[in-house]
Amino acid sequence: MKAITTAFLFTLSAGLTLTGGCSAARAEDPAAHAPPLSSTTVHPSPAAAVTIASPANTPRPPFTFSPEDDAFLTLIQRGGWNWAMHAANATSGMVPDRDSKPYISIAGVGFQLAAFPIAVERGWISRADAQQRVDTILRTLAHTKTSRKFGMYQHFVDGETGELSTIAYEDVVSTIDSALFFSGCIVASSYFGGDTATLADAIVADADWSAFYDVGTPAPRDFERGFLSLGWKPIDLQNDPTGPGTFLPYYWHDSGCEHRLATFLAVAAPDPAKRIPTDTYYRLRRQIGTDAALGAKGSDESRLIYFPWSGALFTNQFSHIFINYSAMGPDNPSAAPFHIPDRARVDWWENARRTTNLHRARAIALHKKDKASPFGPDAWGFTASDRTPDQPGAASGYQVAGCYPELDEAAMSGSRLLYDLSWYRPKPTDPGDSSIAPYAAGMSILFEPTASLSALRHYKHLAQTYPALAKLWQDPSTGGHGFADAYNAPAQWVTPDHLAIDQLPMMIAIENARTGLVWRLFHQHPVVKAGMERLRLESR
């Protein structure tokens, strides 16, 4: 099975079967399934009255850590930076998708760009050297001729030239991978200014989000209308990679992290001709779940919004790397000028905190059920990661584990099937093959710092205690790269790879949890300020 290294293929919100790999359907098709709720709309539906908000006095980042914890977090961050500097291509400066592959994930480069200011502030690289490296990356990608369409980038590009990769397994111009790259450009622009800002801002401004809006091949059906396509594919990859092509018939129409980040940037686009309608952000489906691990089922504290097609923890983390939802509180889709009915009010930071606690609770439940389970209070976070090879000597496989709440049928009663919620009812917990990715709990430091730190210390302890797991942690103080992508304790296996989309977002999440640096840089950029204003989002 081919290794998948970004969120793109396993979060096809319009219809995806997750069975240890990716099998994309045309779109959601409820014909073979009895609708769980009425497909007619009652206005206002109970969903409109739901508000997901934090209990009083819930601590929010940036957090204060003890000197011991602070030193440990610095060490983890330094491991990510050590890897980025060691793995970067000597010509372009870009980090590879993973150790074992020379091609580049454009999303990974976005995280890399946002990591440079952290390294400067931490004293690991001079500002001048960092800016020179960032400019080299931006110039490489600003002048590509075969890896861009409508100002968006191929998911994978050549590590040295930035052009279309001839060895990557995928040939899709991806809206989410481009969005993550553009977010890194925005952070770099704010921090370095000058020529860097000129280069980065031109790349961001060139993105034509409107080209991906309300399109697809075949065309979107009624409930799919008015959202962004996930991507575009060339018809003749070899001879005309930026010529005629087709838009994917899959859409960002739920409210996972990637859906919101891509839609936010599309709303915030500086050129009105390349922008999408602002209310698209609030029309994203907000499917309400409930879980007894969080509170009595159906109670306010038990509710959370979930993405029905992927329960991976990263789908509640990636937008928080850049957008500071912790400073906003609940939004209000029904308020002027949007007046979007049947959508709950949501504090997305609190929603991610609840999702984090749900993941940990499910891991604890697995351990209670089977004491031999590798999961538990300090080993949790079902997400996308490498897994054990299919057979001895083979390359690592890839999995997308996850967990889900139950659909809150009371809150969603009267909602429109497909328009407001999916027909799909996933099983509550999919632990994959019992492989665990440290970055899942690591990035959760933004929401539950105590539990996150405890898990990270546990992973380090495993590496230092069991020789078979020694490569799980490589000491950054002596040049090591910190945590590997994943390990499987029962199989006594550690993946040989580090991934750009694991190492670097964990590094950034830790920095935001400590200082809020990347959040401040992202939000001070004019494009982001304009998007916040259009969406009537305010920071506290």
Sequence letter at residue 18? L
Determine if residue 66 is left, alpha or beta; phi over 0 gives left, psi from -120 to 50 gives alpha, anything else beta: beta
* φ/ψ of residue 345, rounded to 5: -85, 135
In this prediction, residue 392 carries a pLDDT of 80
Residue 69's H or E segment, with its range, is: helix 67-87
Decide: 29 and 247 in contact? Cβ < 8 Å.
no
What the block records as the tokens of 328 is 């906003």
pLDDT at 38: 40
10 Å Cβ neighbour count for 371? 7
By CB atoms closer than 10 A (0-12, 13-18, 19+), residue 19 is: exposed
Does the predicted model carry a pTM greater than 0.75?
A: yes
Angstrom distance (rounded) from CA 155 to CA 11: 14
Q: Which residue has the tokens 């490569």?
A: 471
What is the C-alpha end-to-end distance of the chain, expressed in Å?
46
CA distances from 105 to 55, 161, 172, 234, 499 (A): 39, 13, 12, 18, 10
The backbone torsions φ and ψ at residue 415, rounded to the nearest 5 degrees and listed phi first, read -75, 160
Cβ-based neighbour number of residue 235 at 10 Å: 11
Sequential DSSP letters for 298-339: TSGGGEEE--TT---GGGGTGGGGTS-GGGT----TTSTTT-
Q: How many residues does the chain have?
A: 540
Type of residue at 435: S
Domains with residue ranges and CATH for the chain: 9-534 (1.50.10.140)
E strand or H helix at 346, and its extent? strand 345-346
pLDDT per residue, tens digit, the chain (540 aa), is 233 333 333 333 333 322 233 333 335 765 434 344 444 444 568 999 999 999 999 999 999 999 999 999 999 999 999 999 999 999 999 999 999 999 999 999 999 999 999 999 999 999 999 999 999 999 999 999 999 999 999 999 999 999 999 899 899 999 999 999 999 999 999 999 999 999 999 999 999 999 999 999 999 999 999 999 999 999 999 999 999 999 999 999 999 999 999 999 999 999 999 999 999 999 999 999 999 999 999 999 999 999 999 999 999 999 999 999 999 999 999 999 999 989 999 999 999 999 999 999 999 999 999 999 999 999 999 999 999 998 887 889 999 999 999 999 999 998 999 999 999 999 999 999 999 999 999 999 999 999 999 999 999 999 999 999 999 999 999 999 999 999 999 999 999 999 999 999 999 999 999 999 999 999 999 999 999 999 999 988
Gap between the Cα atoms of 412 and 342, Å rounded: 9
Angstrom distance (rounded) from CA 328 to CA 324:
7
With beta carbons less than 8 A apart as the criterion, state whether 161 and 151 touch: no
